[in-house]
Amino acid sequence: MKSYILSIDQGTTSSRAIIFDEDLNIVTIAQQEIPNYFPHPGWVEMDADAIWESVKYACRKALEDSGLKNTDIKAIGITNQRETTIVWNKKTGMPVYNALVWQSRQTNDLCEKVIRQGYSTLVQEKTGLTIDPYFSASKIRWILDTIDHGQLLADNGELLFGTVDSWLVYKLTNGERHITDVSNASRTMLMDIDSLTWDEDLLSIWNIPANMLPEINDSSHIYGYTDLLGCKTPIASVIGDQQAALFGQTCYDAGQCKNTYGTGCFLLFNTGNMRINSNSGLVSTVGWKIGDDVKYVLEGSVFVAGAAIQWLRDGLKIIKTAAESEALANNVNDSAGVYVVPAFTGLGAPYWNQNVKGAIFGLTRGTTNEHLVRATLESLAYQTYDVIEALIDDTGMRLKSLQVDGGACRNNYLMQFQSDILQTRIIRPVNFETTALGACMLAGLAIGLFSSYAELREKYQVDKVFEPEMSITQQGKLVGGWKKAVKATMEF
């Protein structure tokens, strides 16, 4: 009799439940969209109860569609949007405010105040992160300041905090378990990433009482049991989405690297058991912990990647579908000297410039839609190049290959160009659902369904490998043009 694992992938726009068989094939996927709210410019919120309802729906629908029995599901794994912050009442289990989403900027002033107080170095040393509204700490502070008697209730032990994983496990276990894993905890800006414990100095910066916080566990571990599917199912993994994708790509060892080409790009590089501090605009964070084995990663995020293709479709209306961009790019021999710098929401790693806006360079009377589309696709590859250049500066390591996933990695033109610009092999797996796959693998390890990394690596199927075909001279010329374009964009 076959065994199955259900992965919950809780994201910013939807919740998905994916059932995998023991060979890591997808049996069914069920999904439910969830609204985001924008109460003020720059604020992004979600209804925490709606998150839970959507997860419940997706899990039950996936089971129903699969035709399996509930007892065939041997474990549930959870992977989630990171940093998003929920505070709820310990007695009633009711959220006291909307979930503050990772993108939300309502805590800009709180963060600037803490930076002015001189805490940047301490925070970077303990957490590997840069003080920014992105991470959970300032969001908790904001909720306590905003609700009635927030601080008093928190000090009296009446409130609980969790990132989305904690919230889901709390709900799945009917309030019995208040936990998180190291990868999610490392994004709160409250955990010391060397000792892997909540840190008193960090808590006191934000005046957050320790009694609100979940217990920190391994990423592959039986946290508790849920009756969600109508029987007792173990919850056997919890891991943040980007770290889950790194695991799902079987990047288990130091030196392995994945890049996700979604709305933005997230590049994660496994630095092994050693934490490496970045001097080049990357953050260091925890990958996962299994038993005594802790893996650290360097991470670089690009804000606008696939979103630039959406802009071609919905803003400029020069393509009808994202997929069409490939054929248009292939219609011309080159981008005719056009560079698109899609800094629509500032520039992320390694530039970290919030105020810069996007720009297009190199236009002539002969520039066509095809050139623009091609140059926009190329901007994803150049931005990834910049992050990898920062990574090489920080680690001194040369990248052997890059494993890719996310919607835009379907684009063969983009992947070949990426290989050319990096002068590195690109490996694209058959299964792009690496996030859910990572959670499934970790859950399978916890319940003994899988016994080794070697076994999991054997199940990893490669769809296509892209090898560099461009000369180094040409690559240097193109990268030189990109650097000039970014510099000019930032100076504008």
**Identity (one letter) of the amino acid at 159?**
L
Q: How far is the CB of 176 from ligand ADP (least distance, A)?
A: 31
- Using the rule CB under 6 A, give the single segment among 160-168, 319-327, 362-370, 422-430 that binds ligand ADP: 319-327
- Does 262 bind ligand ADP (CB under 6 A)? Our answer is yes
- Does 44 bind ligand ADP (CB under 6 A)? Our answer is no
Tell me how many residues contact ligand ADP (CB under 6 A): 15
First to last CA, the chain: 64
Among 110, 309, 402, 485, binds ligand ADP (CB under 6 A): 309
Q: How far is the CB of 322 from ligand ADP (least distance, A)?
A: 4
Quote the CA–CA distance of 233 and 446 in Å, as a whole number. 13
**Nearest CA to 102 among 69, 127, 135?**
135
CA 82 to chain centre: 7
Do the Cβ atoms of 489 and 341 come closer than 8 Å? Answer: yes
| Pick 281 or 306: Cβ nearer ligand ADP | 306
- Does 407 bind ligand ADP (CB under 6 A)? Our answer is yes
Instruction: Retrieve residue 298's tokens.
Output: 């360097």
- Does 410 bind ligand ADP (CB under 6 A)? Our answer is yes
- Does 263 bind ligand ADP (CB under 6 A)? Our answer is yes
| Phi, psi for residue 322 in degrees, rounded to 5 | -60, -35
Q: How far is the CB of 374 from ligand ADP (least distance, A)?
A: 12
The angle formed by the CA atoms of residues 202, 203 and 209, to the nearest 5 degrees, is 175
User: CB-based contacts of 389: which residues, under 8 Å, 6+ apart?
Assistant: 280, 350
| Pick 198 or 303: Cβ nearer ligand ADP | 303
Determine if residue 379 is left, alpha or beta; phi over 0 gives left, psi from -120 to 50 gives alpha, anything else beta: alpha
Residue numbers 2-41 binding ligand ADP by CB under 6 A:
none
Among 162, 306, 429, 444, binds ligand ADP (CB under 6 A): 306
Among 152, 210, 323, 430, binds ligand ADP (CB under 6 A): 323
Do the Cβ atoms of 369 and 215 come closer than 8 Å? Answer: no
Q: What string of DSSP letters covers 342-374?
A: --BTBB-TTT-BSS---EEE---TT--HHHHHH
- Does 133 bind ligand ADP (CB under 6 A)? Our answer is no
- The CB-nearest residue to ligand ADP is 407
Among 7, 166, 284, 325, binds ligand ADP (CB under 6 A): 325
- Does 173 bind ligand ADP (CB under 6 A)? Our answer is no
Q: Dihedral through CA 455, CA 457, CA 461, CA 464, nearest 10?
A: -160
- Using the rule CB under 6 A, give the single segment among 320-328, 364-372, 439-447, 466-474 that binds ligand ADP: 320-328
| Pick 33 or 125: Cβ nearer ligand ADP | 33
Q: How far is the CB of 326 from ligand ADP (least distance, A)?
A: 6
3-state secondary structure (DSSP) of residue 286: strand
Residues that bind ligand ADP (CB under 6 A): 262-263, 306-307, 309-310, 322-323, 325-326, 406-408, 410-411
